Amino acid sequence: MQTYGPYDPSVDYVPGPAPRPKYTGRANEAGGAETPSWRPLHMSRRNFLRGVACSGVVIGGSSYLFSGTTPARADTRAVERLVRLTVNGRTHSIEVAPNETLATTLRYRLGLTGTKIGCNQAECGACTVIADGITIYSCSTLTHRVRDSEITTIEGIAGEDGTLHPVQQAFIEELAPQCGFCTPGQVVSAVALLNRNPKPTIEEARLAMSGNLCRCGAYDHYLRGVMKASERV
Ligand code: FES
Ligand code: FES
């Protein structure tokens, strides 16, 4: 068994590898090393790390650029086409994307911002408009589905001279609007009800208004307004 004496700092206890021959760039010459498979990197550690970071950005960016979404987007744009809509008595020919909702078209292409977008998923009724006599949630209706339809928004409810519709007047008298965000949808639903049933029972009115939520909880006020308006139409 091998034994060691006291530690002697002059002794190389763990000898390292034999020194490599100096690389001269000339292969197999006397005194020169074999041509290595690598080239010496004249690069600082900082520059090396910077290069690694940049390559990560390039790889990430290329995966985005060449992902499947790019051609799909291009296709989407390519099939945009013209739609004819009659809104509040005015006919418009507008270019809309295939996946564009009526609420978007009304608000952002036609500037009719009275139609509100609350939940944007067919739950609150803030976006209610009338299409060919039927109330619809414009946030969940594709504009292409209602092409050539007659649309009525809140902007088309009052008379051209600014006279309020009996529903609007009754809602004011009953102090129905609180924050007012749901009010355009409430008005449109009530008008559509009275257009097809001018003398609804309170249960019929409640049912007709049930698709319009009010965060302020002014349901009774709106209901009383509908019943009051029904006496005036
Ligand atoms: S925004 Fe359309 S139903 Fe809520
Ligand atoms: S009045 Fe505020 S949400 Fe109905």
- Do 171 and 222 contact (CB within 8 A), yes or no? yes
Q: Give the ligand 1 atom nearest the CA of 127.
A: 2
Which residue's alpha carbon is nearest to atom 4 within ligand 2?
214
pLDDT digits (tens, 9 = 90+) for 78-98: 456 899 999 999 999 999 999
Q: Which two tokens stand for residue 133?
A: 């006599």
Give the largest Cα separation in the chain, rounded. 116
Model pLDDT, residue 81 = 83
- Of 139, 135, 145, the C-alpha closest to 195 is 135
Q: Which residue has the higher pLDDT, 35 or 123?
A: 123
Q: Give the ligand 2 atom nearest the CA of 186.
A: 4
Q: How far is ligand 1, taken at its centre, from the CA of residue 138, in Å?
A: 7
pTM for the full predicted model: 0.68
CA distance 98 to 79: 7
Q: How far is ligand 1, taken at its centre, from the CA of residue 168, in Å?
A: 21
Model pLDDT, residue 74 = 53
The bound ligand whose nearest atom lies closest to the alpha carbon of 187 is 2
Give burial (CB, 10 Å; 0-12/13-18/19+) of 62. exposed
Q: What percent of the chain has pLDDT over 90?
A: 65
Q: Is the CB of 211 under 6 A from ligand 1?
A: no
Least confident piece of the model among 4-18, 174-188, 219-233: 4-18
Question: Could you state, in order of their start, the residue ranges of all structural domains in the chain?
Answer: 75-156, 157-233
Q: Which two tokens stand for residue 202?
A: 């309170």
Instruction: Find the residues whose C-beta lies inside 6 A of ligand 2.
Output: 177-183, 214-216, 218
Q: How far is ligand 1, taken at its centre, from the CA of residue 188, in Å?
A: 13
Matching CATH topology for 75-156 and 157-233?
no
Q: Using alpha carbons, list the distances in angstroms from residue 214 to 103, 181, 221.
A: 19, 8, 11
Q: Within 13 Å of residue 100, how many CA atoms lie on the same side as its CB?
A: 24
pLDDT digits (tens, 9 = 90+) for 127-179: 999 999 999 999 999 999 999 999 999 999 999 999 999 999 999 999 999 99
Q: Is the CB of 213 under 6 A from ligand 1?
A: no
CATH number of 157-233: 1.10.150.120
- Do 187 and 212 contact (CB within 8 A), yes or no? no
pLDDT digits (tens, 9 = 90+) for 37-55: 445 455 566 665 566 554 5
Given phi > 0 = left and psi -120 to 50 = alpha, else beta, which region is 84? beta
Tell me which fold the domain 75-156 belongs to.
Answer: Ubiquitin-like (UB roll) (3.10.20)
